[in-house]
Amino acid sequence: MEKKPHFVRREFLPREVPSISLALLLAAVLLLNALLYLYLNKFSSSLGRVETDPGLCPFGHFKFGAVKNCSPWLSCEAINREVRKLKCVGEGAVKKVFLSEWKEKKVVLSQLTNSDLKEDFLHGLKMLKALQSKHVVRLLGYCEQQFTILTEYHPLGSLRGLNETLHIPKYKGMNTWHRRLMLAIDYVSVIRYLHSSPLGTLVMCDSNDLDKVLSQYLLTSDFHVLVNDLDALPLVNTSAGRLVKCGHRELRGEFVAPEQRWPYGEDLPFQDDLMPPYDEKTDIWKIPDVSNFFLGHVEGSDIVRLHLFDIHAACKKKDPAERPSAQEVLDTYRKVLTLLIREAAMPGTREML
């Protein structure tokens, strides 16, 4: 039979062209994924800080600003001699806070105001010393005899002022869904750190309403979250039967976890000795409410909320044992961030394939 090469060629050409196009498309997608991977690494390092902080010093030492060498924590004598108070910037139940100056650098000096609460003050100092990390405000010195603590100054203040800060012209460019989600990730990272700290599982007890929670954390100039107030941080050991109660008064409202509320109804008045203790899952219950504040109402924030719906529903389980761990919440937040950035960087890729 006579061969017809021309017809054979015509038969295969239409199949080869789409194959080549598909191969080029897949190569382009792989290249885009590689570029996106590099971008996400850069994004994470600039916004999410790596786990090992090169700025940390050995225990009992500190450095900040442009200083390269670590210095010992300032002693009573050094604080009295070298630190100058400028003005009072805050006062709580336990301590008064002064904006101060040390070697031409702004610092924060905290002093006990109520001698009845000196144990709380000293507990906060103990926690501050033991938990120094990228999640905790930097300790510069202390004087137990005079009940004073010296810490690094952050001009943007506590998280209570976040929305006001983001409306300042200088920071309006930060007011995006991914920056806000990164702040929520920082917050959950702090909770995860406290739940798996070098001291054991710690509960953030000073958190009976949203405003109180936000007051415990600082916003840094490079838009990260640090825990600042560690006065009420009891230790939980569930396996050993060691649980906690956050204070000795009745807690009310939907913000606190169900197990923190008086369980016996209004017929029986609150009695502290009858109130059952609880564990660190109270912190998990509050995460959705705090994250909702972080996300705000910017373009894209509702999409983030939609992706976080399932993990937040799990956080609100009435049974504490059914709630996820802080690590599980953190893992989910990070996955959502990566997914949404990928979708923003490659819109329409799914339709192309």
How do strand 235-236 and strand 95-102 relate by DSSP bridges? unpaired
Query: Which is it for the CA torsion 73, 79, 83, 86, positive or negative?
Result: positive
Instruction: Decide if pLDDT at 52 tops 50.
Output: no
For the structural domain made of 154-346, what CATH number should be given?
A: 1.10.510.10
Residue-wise pLDDT tens digits, 2-38? 444 544 444 444 445 466 666 565 655 555 555 555 5
For tokens 């001699």, name the residue. 81
CA distance 146 to 142: 9
CA distance 224 to 5: 69
Looking at residue 113, what is its pLDDT?
92
Residue 267, token pair as written in the block: 């017929």
CA distance 202 to 103: 35
Q: Which of 40-54, 64-78, 168-182, 304-318 bottoms out in mean pLDDT, i.e. has the lowest?
A: 40-54
Residue-wise pLDDT tens digits, 272-283? 999 999 999 999
Helix pair angle (5-47, 326-345), 10° resolution: 130
In 3D, which of 116, 89, 91 has the Cα closest to residue 101?
89
pLDDT interval class at 47 (50, 70, 90): very low
Residue-wise pLDDT tens digits, 235-258? 999 889 999 999 999 999 999 999
Is the Cβ–Cβ distance between 97 and 110 less than 8 Å? yes
Q: What does the chain come to in residues? A: 353
Query: What is the three-state SS of 27-53?
Result: HHHHHHHHHHHHHHHHHHHHHCCCCCC
Residue 339, token pair as written in the block: 């997914």
Is the Cβ–Cβ distance between 303 and 177 less than 8 Å? yes
Instruction: Please state the CATH superfamily assignment of the domain spanning residues 71-153 in this structure.
Output: Phosphorylase Kinase; domain 1 (3.30.200.20)
User: 71-153 with 154-346: one CATH topology?
Assistant: no
CA distance 291 to 135: 17
Looking at residue 46, what is its pLDDT?
43
Backbone dihedral region of 300: left (phi > 0), alpha (psi from -120 to 50 degrees) or beta? Answer: left
Instruction: Decide if pLDDT at 161 tops 50.
Output: yes
Indicate the average pLDDT of the chain: 87
Helix pair angle (326-345, 281-295), 10° resolution: 30
The domain segmentation of the chain, as residue ranges, is 71-153, 154-346
Average pLDDT of the segment spanning 32-45: 52
Query: What is the three-state SS of 280-310?
Result: CHHHHHHHHHHHHHHHCCCCCHHHHHHHCHH
Neighbours of 74 (CB within 10 A): 22
